[in-house]
Amino acid sequence: MNHAPTVAAPLRWTVPHGPAELAVELLSPCLLRTPGFPVALLAGTASPAGLDLAARAAARARVAEAARADFLTGRWPALRAAARPADAARHPAWRALLRAHRRIEGYEALGEPQLAALESVGGTRTRIWAESWNARVRSDAAFRAGAAAQLRSATVAAWRHTARTVDDERMRHAVFVSNPSFFRTALERPLAPRLDAWDVPDRAADALPPRGLRRTLTTAHRYLRRFTTRCETISFFGPVLFATLDGESDRAVVRGTPGAERVLVEASTWLTDALGRAVTERLDPALRVARRSPLFRERHGGGSDHGRDGGGGVLERVVDGKAFRVAAGPLALWRAADGSLTLGDLADLLGLDTAAADAAARALGPALIVAGRPLPATELRPLARLAPHDPTGTAARLAAARTAYAAAPWPGRVAAYERVQERAAELTGVVRRGAGEHYADREVVFEDRTSPWSERVAFGAPVLDGMRRALSAVLPVCHLGALLAREDAREVVRRATGGTGKPLARLAMTELPDERPRTELLRTALRDLVAGRTACDGVVELTSGEIGAATAGLWRLVPEADRYEASLPSPDLMAVGRDPGSATWLLSELHDDASSVYGGLENRAHSDPAGLWEEFTARIAGRLPPEGLATIVSRRRSAHVTPELPGVSVELSGLSGKPRTETAPVAEVSVTPAGDAVEVRGERRLLYPGDLRSPLHRAVSLPAVVPVTVETGARTPRIVIDSVVYQRARWRVPLPDTPGPEPYDRWLAVQRWRSGHSLPRHVFLRHASEPKPLYVDFADPLSVAEVAGLGGGECVVSEMLPAPDELWWEADGGAQCAEFRLGCVVGSRR
């Protein structure tokens, strides 16, 4: 076997992988995800002098604590013994001495009575010490007053910069797209003039802006941080950018001529559902489409109820095995309702009038699904599909308003959006869903926009070489983790079923323990490797050879026959440095399903959506034969779309968009006795990853290649494999409640927390009260104030890497964070 990475084609190569080798194919195009705004927009909110201020405050606190400890533990015992001897009366100065003790304990200055008491009991030297204590307390009070004033000044400067930056029309547009309600209630009037009206020359030094304005500035500042540091696209303004990977070019980045931005707007999932219900209610019953619920199957033979009621039968709900006796008429309709016929068609087929067919449909209850025009769960253009079938024209009016909104220029889009809301209100009476919904599904529509560089930029051999090195370093250990996790899951499933086949739907409703003993052995091996190294500047460097040797024994836990199925991981890679051709590479994230890159929401933003998907499915067919695979179709609950991959589509709670001959209801799918696959109408198949998040899903799917995270305690160093950053430095630490109402005290508490855990200046912080990681610059007083307001609790902190001065993608006036979202086909090869 050749143990050096080889390239069979520009985007194919192999790397050593335990007893075999790992074959990797990198797919083109890829996505380049950026926030859409330069990170330099944040520079004006930071005050680097504040970090020095915090360090000086910490140094003073250490000196003060040492002085206090000197008194409380070194001087006080002797003073107490002298002032209150066991065999004599108390000293006259005893009460004043106690008051001195309390004041020093509370870091307060001493009055003359306390000074005199200390001198009378401890002598001149104690008096001198006490006066030096007072001098220190006064000095620290003066320092505190100056530091608090400096913090107020930095905070006002950060407010000013936030207001000016968010008042830029492009930024206002981005906020509107992300949260129209916040824009209309808080940003319809520019921020800077409102702040100027407060920030007058004669205002009190410690005055604060009105509470409402402060809250608006805080939220605007949060959006500013998100728009400049988070590589998000859906409803957060970041552009969709498809890029070509060109191994024939010797240039790192090749840009063409920028094109026009395109805006794509679609109804949110909740509005689509409401529109679908409205179409059903308004449509003539004879025109409604009927299909069997995928959760029901006909029970044949052996049942005491079968054959009663004049040729009726029994339907079984597979999730719980409950049986329902059904009369002959409804049963005949149920059998014929394959989803391609309307109730009118079924009535004609069965020799019934429409009223009788409708009555039979109602008699079937949840075993039959009747809808005006049912939408596939993966439908990317629901308005266009539903509008022609709404007899009232509401859907058409909504679609027209949507199209006008997508085409409207800013700021005219605000009025256009209100017209979309008016059309939506005709259907639902509401125009927004609250917190708890997916962020792209709170409003009536969500939108994407294309980058001017989409399909007009290519990355050449220098970048591809870096990607190859990165994937060669990180994919082998993650793939081994996927194989071990699958074996763990299969053991759990076998234990739950007793080694007998079970209906997939019923087993999916069973709470299975997420036990991973094999995976934990891999984590332990990696953790031991990291812990056995001395971190240099917070970095531990490993080699793939060392990892291979440390994990070689784990291969015996994976049966040889189960090592070779291919997978479709989607790595997110970042280049750390100003030149992607020579940068350090970083694994930012690793998703178990690449299909969304080519057939998910971003597909609409490509110039040839159908061709993009067809090319993707053709590329993977050789490694992933569809005749052995199945994909689960669930009801769509958010803007996110998992496309239907080649193979049989198993309908669980959603409708497939494939021909009915290529689908199967979940009622006809069972898990094999070995718990290692599913059987679809007697055919053994594996599921694609990304369908069901459970041990059951892992057991019966292709290997789900995701990161194998390593933690070594409260602080885990940055982990580098073959010069590739496998995992950023991270901290799992408690965030204390910040004391008191004073901004300076809260700011100082956060700075002490940061210093105590040696956190870098730029981090992302996860806290139980926040669904998304927060970008925090500890030199930015507004960021620190937000951390102070989170409340106590455990948080996970990771370093920002690349840092703001390590970015290479230049667009819209400056360097932006940039993340490659790649598609891969990987699998072990003998």
In the sheet with 774-777, reading across from the earlier edge strand, the strands are 715-716, 730-735, 793-799, 762-767, 774-777
The count of domains in the chain is 4
* Phi and psi, residue 780, nearest 5°: -100, 115
Q: At residue 552, what is the residue type?
A: A
The DSSP 8-state label assigned to residue 50 in this structure reads H
* Phi and psi, residue 671, nearest 5°: -90, 135
- Please list the residues that pair with 314 across neighbouring strands: 299, 325
The tokens describing 646, both together, are 């080649």
Query: Residue 83: inside a domain, yes or no?
Result: yes
Tell me which residue has tokens 């009105």: 210
The DSSP 8-state label assigned to residue 736 in this structure reads P
- 462 and 336 co-located in one domain: no
Under DSSP, is residue 147 helix (H, G, I), strand (E, B) or coil?
helix
- 486 and 361 co-located in one domain: no
The tokens describing 251, both together, are 């240039």
Of 346, 371, 396, which residue sits at a domain end?
Answer: 371
- 500 and 359 co-located in one domain: no
Q: What is the model's pLDDT at position 813?
A: 87
- Please, what sign has the CA dihedral across residues 167, 170, 173, 175? negative
Under DSSP, is residue 584 helix (H, G, I), strand (E, B) or coil?
strand
- 524 and 622 co-located in one domain: yes
Q: What is the model's pLDDT at position 1?
A: 36
CB 38 within 8 A of CB 228: yes
CA distances from 742 to 54, 293, 616, 725, 785 (A): 16, 60, 58, 41, 11
Tell me the pairing of strands 289-292 and 445-449: unpaired
In the sheet with 322-326, reading across from the earlier edge strand, the strands are 296-299, 313-317, 322-326
Q: At residue 207, what is the residue type?
A: A
- 658 and 520 co-located in one domain: yes
In the sheet with 678-680, reading across from the earlier edge strand, the strands are 502-503, 669-671, 678-680, 683-687, 629-633, 648-651, 663-665
Query: Residue 24: inside a domain, yes or no?
Result: yes
Of 340, 371, 402, which residue sits at a domain end?
Answer: 371
* Phi and psi, residue 435, nearest 5°: -60, 150
Residues of the chain with pLDDT below 50 are 1-10, 235, 302-309, 436
Q: What is the model's pLDDT at position 586?
A: 98
CA distances from 625 to 245, 421, 566, 647, 740 (A): 25, 46, 10, 8, 64
> Structural domain of residue 462, as residue ranges?
6-35+457-710+821-829
- Please list the residues that pair with 592 across neighbouring strands: none
Query: Residue 750: inside a domain, yes or no?
Result: no
CB 621 within 8 A of CB 642: no
User: Against a cut of 0.85, is the pTM above it?
Assistant: yes
CB 235 within 8 A of CB 439: yes
Query: Residue 1: inside a domain, yes or no?
Result: no
Tell me which residue has tokens 């930029």: 457
Q: Rounded CA gap, 253 and 256, in Å?
A: 10
Under DSSP, is residue 542 helix (H, G, I), strand (E, B) or coil?
strand
Under DSSP, is residue 808 helix (H, G, I), strand (E, B) or coil?
coil
Q: At residue 611, what is the residue type?
A: G
My answer on whether omega of the bond before 411 falls inside 30° of 0, hence cis, is yes
How many other CB atoms are there within 10 angstroms of residue 81's CB atom? Answer: 11
Q: What is the model's pLDDT at position 739?
A: 73
State the CATH number of the domain containing residue 357: 3.90.930
CB 767 within 8 A of CB 735: yes
CB 725 within 8 A of CB 718: yes
Q: Rounded CA gap, 408 and 385, in Å?
A: 23
Tell me the pairing of strands 683-687 and 629-633: parallel
Q: What is the model's pLDDT at position 790?
A: 93
- 21 and 83 co-located in one domain: no
Of 321, 346, 371, which residue sits at a domain end?
Answer: 371
Q: Rounded CA gap, 94 and 100, in Å?
A: 10
CA distances from 260 to 175, 263, 539 (A): 21, 10, 43
Query: Residue 686: inside a domain, yes or no?
Result: yes
- 506 and 547 co-located in one domain: yes
- 497 and 517 co-located in one domain: yes
* Phi and psi, residue 464, nearest 5°: -65, -35
- 88 and 172 co-located in one domain: yes
- pLDDT tens-digit series, residues 236-248: 567 999 999 999 9
CA distances from 804 to 121, 193, 224, 393 (A): 60, 30, 15, 51
Largest Cα–Cα separation, the chain? 116
How many other CB atoms are there within 10 angstroms of residue 59's CB atom? Answer: 10
Query: Residue 720: inside a domain, yes or no?
Result: no
Q: What is the model's pLDDT at position 136?
A: 96
- 324 and 436 co-located in one domain: no
One DSSP character per residue, 212-265 reads HHHHHHHHHHHHHHHHHH----TTS-PPB-EEEE-TT--SSEEE-------EEE
Q: Rounded CA gap, 620 and 607, in Å?
A: 21
* Phi and psi, residue 62, nearest 5°: -65, -45
CB 636 within 8 A of CB 661: no
Q: At residue 7, what is the residue type?
A: V
Q: What is the model's pLDDT at position 769?
A: 87
- 142 and 198 co-located in one domain: yes
Query: Residue 253: inside a domain, yes or no?
Result: no
Burial class (CB in 10 A: 0-12, 13-18, 19+), 814: middle
Q: Tell which residue, 633, 171, 254, 627, has the closest CA to residue 463.
A: 254
Query: Residue 236: inside a domain, yes or no?
Result: no
- 596 and 549 co-located in one domain: yes
* Phi and psi, residue 429, nearest 5°: 80, -5
